[in-house]
Structure 1
Amino acid sequence: MNNTRISLVLLAFLLLACTDETSLAPEIEQQDPIAKAKIDKTIIASLQNTDEFNWRDVSDEMIWSALVHSDSVLSIGYRPANESDINGRISEIDIEQEAWIEASDAIVNESITILREEGDDSFIESDLNIHKHDVLPFIDMKVSSLEVVKYLRSLSTVRYAEPLGYEVDFIVVDGGRIESNSGCSNDPDNSIPSSDFTNISPGAKASWHLYANNVVSAWNSSTGSGIGIGLIDTGISPNQDNLNSNFNSGNSSGRYVNKYGFYRSSWWWWSKPDGPNDQCGHGTAMAGVMAAPRSTDGSSVGVAYNSNLVAVRGTGDVVINGGREKTGVADALVFLGNRSDVKIISMSIGDVFSNSKVADAIRYAYGKGKLIFAAAGTSTSFTNWFGVIFPATMNETVAVTGIKESGYTRCDICHSGSKVDFTVIMERNGTANHPLSLAMSGNQPSTVGGSSVATATAAGIAALVWAKNPGMTREQVLDKMKRTADLYPNKSSSYGWGTLDAAAAVNY
């Protein structure tokens, strides 16, 4: 008995003595994230090859790595298990119904369970910074765990799981660098030649491009009265009187301008929106193109100078690339979608690849009957390789780009492609001069170019058409614009139905 006990003790001692670090069961090592440069390269390659990139096409590891390299916020689109494709009816969904609540609660609760099982003793539920949207079926949640990403992407109740704040640093194509262009400049232009505008009563300036797109002739039949245009952009300058106290002046009367802000510049999730005031200049310029009054002070007149304007600050600049921009734009779309007085939404903003959270909001506004115009894209250099940007790529939007005065040559910084629906003449031959608009303050006009001004012009033309035919549906208004564009009934692979003719569309 004693010998047996001693033998067992000796055996245990020998086993312990022979055991070293290498013979122990290896600990589970934390996986390193994929390098940001590699993620960027994947995105760029997809854009170059297909003009598209979608997070659903990459691995769980790349999604998680993108979270690590950004703000760690994952946007999770959800649906009940018995629901199929909801894209075409997202505006009809009530997420307060029991099945939708159960689906969203299960996603959050299981994510919490996984995090606790991973042994993070310091974890508390508030670490997730969970934000469930009030209207749209998605949740924004802080995620730092690869296992949570894997779990969520395996669920049939998860429509998408995308890094909200991931941004591509820069793009290199054929040795050239493309950086995001903020589009933030809108100073008075004191060098505008007299040939680029016409002085019209009672004292306004009509930009040359209004004649090129037959807008001035359309004013004989319609000035946009009674139609509300929703603008999602960088806001409106409080110092531009023609978009504030003088909105009703000269030949513009009986209308209103409303201003709201949904964009948050702060990183803190509990922060309040910054407000409606434009800190960039782009939104002010777009508002001026669409709806500036036909005033007496020598400023430029807008396309639909008697339309109503509801301007929403959704972004800090023209690129919807950060999480704060995506959230601001999505909230702006839902807000405008629910306003019965808004018929048209103009978005001269976008990004090179899609975001499902914003796409949900686009479909929501579309489901509410809104006619949504979106810019095909504007870059400052090396643009030939890339086509139409998001959200102009969506079927629910009308994509617009800008061309030069004669022939079909896109403007120097404009994008084109098969997703384009219409063109607007907005760049002069020879001088490459651009249309007039309102500067951040004062009566001296500024000038603005790119597919941005083309989009704002198209939205204004739609308001002229709708004001002449107030009982028409969105589809009927769009059909008038299409049938009177100069390439109809043929559709170009780069320029859609061609250049809009405002007078022809209004009187068709």
Structure 2
Amino acid sequence: MRARRLALAAPAAALLLLPCAAPVGHAATVLDGDGECTYPAPQIKGTPWSLQRVLLDQLWQYGRGEGVKVAVIDTGVDNRNPQLRQAVDTRDGEDLIDPKGDGTDDTVGHGTEVAGIIAARPASGTGFVGIAPQATIIPIRQNDDQGHGDTKTLAKAVDDAVRDGARVINISQDVANPLTPDPVLGAAVRHALDSDVVVVAAAGNDGSGGKLNTTYPAAYPGVLAVGASDRDDERADFSQAGSFVGVAAPGVDMVSTVPLGGQCADNGTSFSAPYVAAVAALVRAKHPGWTAGQVVAQIEQTADRVDPGRNDFIGWGVVDPVRALTDDARPIDHPVPDQRSAATGERVRPAALTLGETPQQRAERTATYALGAAVVLVAAIAGGTVVVRDARRRRTSR
């Protein structure tokens, strides 16, 4: 089976079709991913780069997300994939498109990929595993490739996730058109936050060129909006920038589970958000007494920064899962700028605005080359001196 996902960065004509499927008065929602996969897919044997950057043994020394429910509001989660069979809670699962379903029908594959990044169990034959591989997934099917999801069903999905005991909610989609104040969706998000639930949402994929925009539900106050970073911990070109972005996380060549079995690689902030949602699950498991706001502040405070504070391109920085779980002596309510960097007055140019290396990186590289050349030159002179000296000694000894 081959499935194609509509992306926020898709041609405008494709996006215009989505609102037509939505009931009058409710904006359609759009899946924030791109790419194409065949289901089932072959196993990807190696360890994905997004996991290679994390010391998993150190990350999991305090637990693997046991006891934490994470609601995945998406296109469903196919638990026929062996890595998700034990991760998905079908009792609390829900299908808002097919009332007879339990949230495990995923004809698109998008939700199955999202869920795998959070809680896929280890399996032989692949190096891929979820960041929180003992967390429990609540699958809520709210959208499909026909754009049947809208702000009304998204609001209901959020409310139902809270009712079913989710401690973290992942939303890897946003509205197709600019959102006017929507009391239904806004109230549902506020209810979740007031119920002490961490709400994580994809920032969107319409950021090419670094242009600023605002997307919902990621931009609602209190929601942890996640942009996408690449292998160099720089903002992925497509990742939406804006004042609402909280952190960034890997979102390029993201390996995850697909329906029926196997894995594939995909791109998008859709797959950055669950990376952070999984870290939130680990923090909640380790610190059950921390509030949702403190969990979010912890993730933002411990992110790998390029500025003393936040910027509109990667927020407070690229998430650091290990530091979020280890630099946690006490809870904080809000992230604060890096005082050491602020004291020097140094500001690193945001990686999002560069196509190559920054001026600082160029200067560092040039200095490194110069130092290397000097070392080689000194070694050559010293080596030549030794050769001449030894030659003289040999002539003298004859």
Contact 2:35 2:267 in 1 (8 A): no
Contact 2:255 2:266 in 1 (8 A): yes
Instruction: Mark the runs of 5 or more structure 2 residues left unpaired by the alignment.
Output: 1-11, 13-18, 328-398
Contact 1:184 1:282 in 2 (8 A): no
Q: Which residue of 1 aligns with 2:293?
A: 475
Q: Which residue of 2 aligns with 1:395?
A: 221
Matched, 1:212 2:53: yes
Q: Which residue of 1 aligns with 2:152?
A: 327
Quick one: which of 245, 250, 268 aligns to 1:450? 268
Q: 2-side partners of 1:305 and 1:405: how far apart?
A: 23
Contact 1:374 1:455 in 2 (8 A): yes
Letter in 2 for 1:361: A
Cα offset for 1:278?
0.8
Matched, 1:294 2:119: no
Matched, 1:227 2:68: yes
Cα offset for 1:447?
1.2
Q: 2-side partners of 1:505 and 1:180: how far apart?
A: 28
Q: 2-side partners of 1:493 and 1:72: how far apart?
A: 31
Cα offset for 1:263?
2.6
Cα offset for 1:343?
0.7
Per-residue deviation, residues 156-189 of structure 1 (Å, max 9, x unmatched): xxxxxxx22579xxxxxxxxxxx98775844366
1:506–1:396 distance in 2 versus 1, CA, 3 Å: same
Cα offset for 1:456?
0.5
Cα offset for 1:264?
2.4
Matched, 1:345 2:169: yes
Q: Which residue of 2 aligns with 1:164?
A: 26
1:456–1:293 distance in 2 versus 1, CA, 3 Å: same
**Larger CA deviation: 482-491 vs 182-191:** 182-191
Contact 1:289 1:302 in 2 (8 A): yes
Q: Which residue of 2 aligns with 1:405?
A: 231
Give the SS at the match of 1:441. Answer: coil
Q: Which residue of 1 aligns with 2:244?
A: 419
**Larger CA deviation: 464-473 vs 393-402:** 464-473
Higher relative contact order (CA 8 A, sep 6+): 2
Instruction: Kindly report which structure 2 residues correspond to 1:257-276, keeping only aligned pairs within 5 A, or say none.
Output: 258=91, 260-264=93-97, 272=99, 275-276=102-103
Q: 2-side partners of 1:281 and 1:407: how far apart?
A: 26
1:455–1:216 distance in 2 versus 1, CA, 3 Å: farther
Q: Which residue of 1 aligns with 2:199?
A: 372
Instruction: Mark the runs of 5 or more structure 1 residues left unpaired by the alignment.
Output: 1-43, 45-68, 75-162, 168-178, 199-206, 249-254, 266-271, 428-433
Letter in 1 for 2:97: R
1:385–1:504 distance in 2 versus 1, CA, 3 Å: closer
Larger Cα-atom Rg: 1
Q: Which residue of 1 aligns with 2:361?
A: none
Contact 2:203 2:215 in 1 (8 A): yes
Contact 2:211 2:240 in 1 (8 A): no
Q: 1-side partners of 2:174 and 2:28: how far apart?
A: 15
Q: Which residue of 2 aligns with 1:148?
A: none
Q: 2-side partners of 1:338 and 1:416: how far apart?
A: 32
Q: 2-side partners of 1:232 and 1:72: how far apart?
A: 17
1:473–1:305 distance in 2 versus 1, CA, 3 Å: same
When normalised by structure 2's length, the TM-score is: 0.67
